[in-house]
Amino acid sequence: MSIQWYPGHMTSARKKAAETMARIDVVIEVVDARLPEASTNPMVHELRLHRQRPCLKILNKADLADPVATKAWLDYYNRQSGVKAVALTSKNHGEVARIPALCQSLAPHRNDNVKQLRMMIMGIPNVGKSTLMNALVRRKIAKVGDEPAVTKSQQTYELSVRHAITDTPGMMWPKIEHDSDGFMLAASHAIGRNAVNDDEVAIFLADLLLARYPALLAARYKFPVDGLDGVAVIESVAKKRGFRARGGEPDFEKAASVVLQDYRDGVLGRVSLETPQTRAAMLAEAKALAQSRAAPAAAVPDGTAAASAGEA
Ligand code: G4P
């Protein structure tokens, strides 16, 4: 699957974010705690490094993520320079209230009671930026919705005389390099409904859950999952729930959407789609694959390449 989902308004959003970056002190980067790297927009990193701005990385929706994986991710990010990572649930206002002080600790030069600390929230669609903004501003300012990219323009709010925050629209980047990232983003609904095939996404998700959380799958759908693959899990959900398509066969599409919705709503239990370890393994595999694809071109299969090299 190749996902290229980059609506036109996101190009102007990037340009505007680059301009705002010049006049803020700290970036608050919101990612999904269940897939922190896959939901990290490389453009945020690039824009932030260009202006050397520190980052409070928020692993949001921590209530839905596997706490062991979240702890591993926090350790991973907290080793990075200029980054402080915290896990939180932005629906919980008490947790959100810690954010200004955390940002302040990243910009000690703005802690003199004179200069206002200027923060900017960034992140891909549907990671919870609007929910976080509403909790920070303590009123409903941002439209919250489970449909990617509902916030379309930047706005700045004064939280107090000492803190101001700029909200930015959800930004994607032009090309998602790894297919598995595309699937994770689609499963978590960061990518729009029309950009992906839900059946494929659900099969990917079911395979991943089988590998990492088979007991949760079995408990939710009430059938043994040993020996099944992702396709068989979805088919079994259709049979178990009595979903029938027109010809009477199991309704795969309906079961696929149920599995996806159950994951999105957190009813499967607390799951994380990636850990620092699985990420490192995926990247190593992708690198090896790229090298093996490049290798035949460099090899000299029949002497032709060597001869022409010699002639040059
Ligand atoms: P965005 O601005 O980044 O696009 O995201 P937004 O705040 O609109 O949130 C997207 C969905 O994620 C919303 O769900 C929101 O409630 C949910 N959400 C945000 N933060 C958290 C969190 O920390 N934990 C959990 N479990 N969910 C979170 P929705 O289904 O559209 O709305 P709702 O019915 O939950 O209100």
| Domains with residue ranges and CATH for the chain | 11-167 (3.40.50.300), 179-265 (1.10.1580.10)
Q: Give the nearest ligand 1 atom to 266 CA.
A: 26
Q: Is 303 or 236 the better-scoring residue by pLDDT?
A: 236
Contacts of 272 (CB under 8 A, 6+ apart): 33, 34, 35, 65, 66, 69, 70, 212
Q: Is 46 or 138 the better-scoring residue by pLDDT?
A: 46
Q: Give the nearest ligand 1 atom to 142 CA.
A: 2
Question: For residue range 149-185, what is the model confidence (pLDDT) as tens digits?
Answer: 444 578 889 888 889 999 988 888 888 999 999 999 9
Mean pLDDT within 23-45: 96
pLDDT of 306 strictly over 60: no
What's the whole-model pTM score? 0.89
Residue 138 Cα to ligand 1 middle (Å): 16
pLDDT band at 269 (very low <50, low <70, confident <90, very high): very high
* CB contact at 8 A, 190 and 127: yes
pLDDT of 1 strictly over 60: no
**What's the CA gap between 28 and 105, in Å, rounded?**
13
Mean pLDDT within 247-261: 96
Residue 11 Cα to ligand 1 middle (Å): 24
263: closest CA among 306, 239, 233? 233
pLDDT at 301: 55
Ligand 1 proximity of 168 Cβ (cutoff 6 Å):
no
Bridge-based pairing of strands 163-167 and 155-158 is: antiparallel
Ligand 1 proximity of 171 Cβ (cutoff 6 Å):
no
**What's the CA gap between 285 and 264, in Å, rounded?**
28
* Count of alpha carbons within 13 angstroms of residue 132, beta-carbon side: 34
Mean pLDDT within 9-31: 88
pLDDT at 12: 78
Long-range contacts of 250-255 (CB under 8 A, 24+ apart): 252/199, 253/198, 253/199, 255/202
Pocket test for ligand 1, best of 99, 144, 188, 268 (most atoms within 8 A of CB): 144
